[in-house]
């Protein structure tokens, strides 16, 4: 079969396995020549390792100087009657292959990170096959649902405001159109549920469990990712349900930091740049901002993708030269510093008001936005034979 891109709205319904392989290789090549992570961690667990920031973290820590063995947990689907499977499925496979070629462990666990069974399996593996202890735990899950560990009932996150409803344009990648969309005001229950899904509770429970199992090494660090953004996007993000959940995540970092300090450990949240990922394309009314931001940052030569962000985080912040992790007044690591520079934001806000449904494909960086989206799913990458006839057997023989 010839594997073609299929997009529904902002969701990819197909993925190109060998394009995903190429994307992994491109990221590895980048970190191999970038400012390296020195004195970094050797044994790393990444929750949410198959795409976006989690995958970039894993690549940075394995190939960007630290030579870390990694365990990656993710929720992905392999080939079946339903289709070729998800991009993350292939990312896991090809990451592991490249890691093994470099003499590193790249163990994949595919399944629900919230389930007790997954936790037990991972602990068992750390104890029996991974050397017994972790130096770093990266928490990079992004999801819309989380089961209540007590009852199994599902909490669902919603992307809503906490004040007035906001109407703004959002991109439909399938049709290359910009459509008006209104984000309503969250109910108190929706606010709470979003905090349950995207706040810090599950992160803390993982750290507690790993700590009780005795698999956190002395000096172990943990990091989770957040977004803040400029004032213009506060109503839809920072001061909305997602921002509220992130505030909970930030508070969790402080709590974990105190807990972990007893064994010389540290916990942080890193605030990252707005980027195109499987998760972020869902945020309504956010796309004009991203289109303007990409354009301005590329013009200025300071644009970064997930991999550049993560390499900078690990090489210069979490394992930086002066051993003390630089943080802001709220104890947050800021790798969104370039995004938020005054002159960048000045130009972004000037450009944003000019972007309309008629001109967005040229006025903003829609080309870059769409290419990023396609590449997340293994399409539009140079050096991949998209006409190749790929058999289903070839795909089912690839193992996670
Ligand atoms: P993503 O969608 O690319 O990755 C999410 C990962 O979580 C995938 O590996 C997925 O398989 C895994 N996952 C989801 N549910 C799971 C489950 N039940 N069990 C196991 N694995 C599961 O998302 P992205 O954008 O990389 O997000 C990661 C973090 O970075 C999030 O906390 C997000 O808020 C944050 N962030 C994202 C920004 C962006 O612009 N994309 C900006 C700043 C922070
Ligand atoms: Na270092």
* 195-236 tens-digit pLDDT: 999 999 999 999 999 999 999 999 999 999 999 999 989 999
* Ligand 1 midpoint to CA 225 (Å): 9
> How many Å apart are CA 274 and CA 255, to the nearest integer?
26
* From 30, 90, 139, 237, active-site residue: 237
76 lines ligand 1 (CB under 6 A): yes
Which of 142, 242, 306 has the most ligand 1 atoms within 8 A of CB, as the residue to mutate? 142
Is residue 275 a known part of a binding site?
yes
Q: Assess: ipTM above 0.85.
A: yes
- Residue 246 CA to residue 226 CA, distance in Å, equals 6
Number of domains into which the chain is organized: 1
Quick one: DSSP state of residue 281? G
Probe target for ligand 1 pocket from 27, 53, 58, 199, with the most ligand atoms within 8 Å of CB: 53
In a domain, 336, yes or no: yes
Average pLDDT over the chain, rounded to whole?
96
Per-residue pLDDT tens digits for 231-251: 989 999 999 999 999 999 999
Q: ∠10-14-15 over CA atoms, to 5°?
A: 105
Using pLDDT thresholds of 50, 70 and 90, give the confidence band for residue 263: very high
Give the residue from 227, 364, 380, 232 showing the smallest Cα distance to 298. 364
Domain of 300, CATH number, reads 3.40.50.720
Asked, for residue 4, whether it belongs to a domain, the answer is no
User: Residue 71 Cα, ligand 2 centroid: separation in angstroms?
Assistant: 21
CA of 198 relative to ligand 1 center, distance in Å: 10
Task: Average the pLDDT over 33-50 and give the result.
Answer: 98
Residue 323, strand partner residues: none
Q: Tell me the ligand closest to 138's alpha carbon.
A: 1
Q: Is residue 5 in some structural domain?
A: no
Q: Does residue 3 form part of some domain? A: no
Residue range 297-322, pLDDT digits in tens: 999 999 999 999 999 999 999 999 88
Task: Using the predicted structure, report yes or no on whether residue 323 has a pLDDT greater than 90.
Answer: no
Q: Is residue 288 part of a domain?
A: yes
Q: Which pLDDT score is estimated for 299?
A: 98
Assess whether pLDDT exceeds 90 at residue 284: no
Q: Which ligand lies nearest the alpha carbon of 316?
A: 2
Average pLDDT of the segment spanning 138-157: 97
In sequence order, what are the residues at sequence separation of 6 or more whose Cβ sits closer than 8 angstroms to the Cβ of residue 151? none
Say if residue 251 is exposed, middle or buried (CB neighbours under 10 Å; 0-12, 13-18, 19+).
Answer: middle
Asked whether residue 66 carries a pLDDT value surpassing 90, the answer given is yes
pLDDT score of 300 = 98
Looking only at the bridges linking them, the beta strands covering 11-12 and 166-172 are unpaired
Closest ligand 1 atom to the C-alpha of 113? Answer: 19
Lowest mean pLDDT among 73-82, 149-158, 282-291: 282-291
The model's pTM is: 0.98
Tell me the angle at which helices 201-212 and 241-261 cross, rounded to the nearest 10 degrees. Answer: 20
On whether residue 93 sits in a domain, the answer given is yes
| 94 annotated to bind ligand | no
Ligand 1 center to residue 321 CA distance, Å?
28
Q: Compute the distance from residue 264 Cα to the ligand 2 centre, in Å.
A: 17
| 334 within domain boundaries | yes
Contact (CB, 8 A) for 88 and 277? no
Element (H, E) at 126: helix 116-129
Query: Domain limits at 285?
Result: 10-397
Closest ligand, as measured to the CA of 293: 1
Would residue 319 show up in a list of annotated catalytic residues for this protein? Answer: no
Q: Would the CB of 140 count as within 6 Å of ligand 1?
A: yes
CA atoms within 13 A on the CB side of 182: 6
Q: What pLDDT shows up at residue 69?
A: 99
Indicate which residue's Cα is closest to atom 12 of ligand 1: 48
Whether 138 is in a domain gets the answer yes
Phi first, then psi: what are they for 201, rounded to 5°?
-60, -45
pLDDT at 215: 98
Q: How many CA atoms lie within 13 A of 243 on its CB side?
A: 17
């Amino acid at each position: 079969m010839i594997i073609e891109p299929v997009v529904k709205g902002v969701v990819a319904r197909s993925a190109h396995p060998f394009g995903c392989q190429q994307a992994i290789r491109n990221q590895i090549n980048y970190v191999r020549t970038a400012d390296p992570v020195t004195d970094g961690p050797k044994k790393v667990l990444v929750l949410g390792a198959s795409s976006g920031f989690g995958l970039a973290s894993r690549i940075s820590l394995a190939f960007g100087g630290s030579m870390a063995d990694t365990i990656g947990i993710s929720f992905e689907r392999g080939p079946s009657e339903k289709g070729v499977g998800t991009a993350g499925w292939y990312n896991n496979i090809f990451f592991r292959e490249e890691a093994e070629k470099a003499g590193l462990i790249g163990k994949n666990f595919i399944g629900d990170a919230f389930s007790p069974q997954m936790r037990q399996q991972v602990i068992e593996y750390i104890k029996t096959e991974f050397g017994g202890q972790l130096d770093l735990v990266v928490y990079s899950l992004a999801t819309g649902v989380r089961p209540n560990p007590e009852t199994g009932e599902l909490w669902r996150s919603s992307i809503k405001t906490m004040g007035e409803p906001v109407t703004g344009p959002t991109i439909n990648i399938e049709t290359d159109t910009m459509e008006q969309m209104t984000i309503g005001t969250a109910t108190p229950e929706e606010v709470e549920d979003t905090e349950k899904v995207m706040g810090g509770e599950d992160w803390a429970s993982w750290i507690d469990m790993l700590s009780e199992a005795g698999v956190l090494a002395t000096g172990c660090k943990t990091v989770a990712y957040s977004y803040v953004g400029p004032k213009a996007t506060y109503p839809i993000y920072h001061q909305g349900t997602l921002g509220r959940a992130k505030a909970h995540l930030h508070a969790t970092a402080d709590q974990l930091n105190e807990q972990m300090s007893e064994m010389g450990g540290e916990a942080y949240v890193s605030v990252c740049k707005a980027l195109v990922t499987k998760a972020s394309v869902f945020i309504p009314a956010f796309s004009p901002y991203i289109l303007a931001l990409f354009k301005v940052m590329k013009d200025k030569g300071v644009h970064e993708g997930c991999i550049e962000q993560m390499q900078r985080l690990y090489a210069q912040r979490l394992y930086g030269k002066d051993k003390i992790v630089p943080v802001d007044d709220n104890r947050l690591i800021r790798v969104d510093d370039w995004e938020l520079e005054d002159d960048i934001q000045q130009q972004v806000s000037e450009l944003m008001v000019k972007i309309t449904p008629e001109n967005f494909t040229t006025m903003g960086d829609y080309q870059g936005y769409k290419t990023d989206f396609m590449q997340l799913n293994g399409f539009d990458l140079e050096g991949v034979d998209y006409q190749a006839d790929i058999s289903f057997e070839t795909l089912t023989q690839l193992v996670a």
